[in-house]
Structure 1
Amino acid sequence: MSVRTRKTLITALALTGGLTLAAVTPALAGTAASHTPRTAAVAQGDPRNVTQHVADFYGAYVDAVWATDDKSAGDAAKALRAFYLSAAAQKKVAAFEKKEHADGILFAQNVPVKWSVAYTGSGAGHATSRVTLTWSGGKHPEVSRIDVQSDLKTLKITDLKPVR
């Protein structure tokens, strides 16, 4: 076997081994799971931003109600409501839940798989954010929207209304 043939064979083996390792490593590390991002994601926030405040609330609240197997999740959801919602909004949510037998934050009996929050305007000391809840996956996912009003001074959520 010539030197050139041996070098070609060794190079081919090295490339094959490297490519195999590159293909197997993510699977071994668990990055192929659906809950792990495929790219590096950066999360950030600003506690002074009213829309960010609503996004923080919905993110934590959805996590808490999603975690049905965690005994502390119910207490966490209650604590989040107490922290993020004004007293009047808490009463309104409780009245909705008593009447409709559904979650008054999500306006539903189940939990969304995704959520997003966008600023839609402000005036008279309040800001409005539109929360979009995604309930299913696929090409045509089911979504619902909620307009969330917040006090600009306290950042507390003062009203929630489903968008029809």
Structure 2
Amino acid sequence: MTVRHRKTLLTAAALTAGLTLAAVTPALAYTGASHTTRAAAASSAQGDPRNVTQRVTDFYGAYIDSVWDNEDPAAAANAKALRAFYLSAAAQKKVAAFEKKNHADGILFAQNVPVKWKVAYTGSGAGHATSRVTLTWGDGSSAEVSRIDVQSDLKTLKITDLKPVR
């Protein structure tokens, strides 16, 4: 075997080893981290800003993320901005009144933050749509669930009312 062939063979072997390592490394990264398991469970998402139920879903997802991450200095400002954007002025006043009276979050109707949530369309009429928000508090068989009916204006897409389901 000539020197040139040996160099070509060694270069090809080195290149193959490097590419294999590059392909395997991302798959091995963070294998022990719990957040990768959760990220894999929700590997894709989509939305439509014209869909009133999607807007409620977007609001609750972003709002829960903000109040969950209370260590971040921007989280409280973000939660406040989300309320201003997604809620009508009347709904904002109603939420503030609930919070003053009950010393609890008027969006979640609780003093803590759920670990899971989902939103489902439940009906519409008279220019409004209603979505049912289901909040899950904790994991496993002892997890508690609460529900909130959220009314939205079909024209503005703003949330106009929130009521806990008893």
- TM exceeds 0.5? yes
**Corresponding residue number in structure 2 for 1:160:** 162
Structure 1 residue ranges, 4+ long, deviating more than 3 angstroms after superposition = 24-28
What residue is the counterpart of 1:138 in the other structure? 140
Alignment equivalent of 2:115, drawn from 110, 113, 116: 113
Q: Specify the code of the residue in structure 1 equivalent to 2:43.
A: A
Structure 1 regions of 5+ residues with no counterpart? 1-20
User: Greater helix percent: which structure?
Assistant: 2
How far apart in 1 are the matches of 2:44 and 2:163? Answer: 30
| Inter-CA distance 131–97: structure 2 relative to 1 (3 Å threshold) | same
Aligned residues: 142
1:29 equivalent in structure 2 = 29
Counterparts in 2 of 1:1-164, with a 5 A limit? 28-36=28-36, 37-38=39-40, 41-164=43-166
Structure 2 CA distance for aligned equivalents of residues 25 and 135 of structure 1: 36
Q: So what's the TM-score if we normalise by structure 1?
A: 0.81
Cα displacement string for residues 2-36 of structure 1 (whole angstroms, at most 9, x for unaligned residues): xxxxxxxxxxxxxxxxxxx9xx9678411442222
How far, CA to CA, are the matches of 1:31 and 1:92 in structure 2?
A: 45
CA distance in 1, matches of 2:31, 2:97: 43
Identical residues among aligned pairs (%): 82
Aligned CA RMSD, in angstroms, stands at 1.8
Q: Distance in 2 between matches of 1:79 and 1:38?
A: 29
Moved more, 47-56 or 24-33: 24-33
Equivalent position amino acid for 1:141 in 2: A
Aligned CA distance change for structure 1 residues 145 and 29 (closer, same or farther; 3 Å): same
